[in-house]
Amino acid sequence: MEMKLKRFEFGKTFTIGKLYIDGIYQCFVLEDVVRPKGEKVDGQTAIPSGTYSVIIDRSTRFNKDMPHILDVPNFTGVRIHSGNSSKNTEGCLLVGTTWSSGDFIGNSKLAYDALFKKLVATNEKITITIE
């Protein structure tokens, strides 16, 4: 299964993109701000562009199985989860079904549940390409 995140809105504190699974639109994604290559502010920096493996494993922070994005340079514990603004990201990807402008996505739990259901149902290797 191939996920692709296409970023298109770059704010001062946030980044918005669209997530596709095998070429089909899934949901909006909200992240922290994209910074120049090599620059990182803990909990306030978007994941560098690239292709990463994704697994489902237990999050000690959330105490449940969740999507885990592996081998992100200078990041640890990068997850895909629900949340509404960049204050909820800490370097992770937040998903939602609605976005109109600014640092907010809506219906995040609904989007997360739909995405998680697809991810756990696949028998394929999961990757995410972030552009």
User: What is the mean pLDDT, run by run of 10 residues, along the chain of 131 residues?
Assistant: 98 96 98 89 92 96 96 93 94 96 96 98 97 96
Q: pLDDT at position 15, please?
A: 97
d(CA 131, CA 49): 5
Would you call 72 helix, strand, or coil by DSSP? coil
Q: How far is CA 70 from CA 40, 64, 77, in A?
A: 17, 17, 8
d(CA 116, CA 120): 6
- Domain locations in the chain? 2-130
Q: pLDDT at position 98, please?
A: 98
Please give the radius of gyration of the chain, using alpha carbons only, rounded to the nearest integer.
Answer: 13
Q: Which two tokens stand for residue 93?
A: 């990807």
Q: Are 96 and 27 in contact (CB under 8 A)?
A: yes
Beta-strand relationship, 24-31 and 2-10: unpaired
**Vertex 85, ends 79 and 88: CA angle to 5°?**
45
Beta-strand relationship, 15-21 and 2-10: antiparallel
Would you call 116 helix, strand, or coil by DSSP? helix
Residue with token string 């990068």: 78
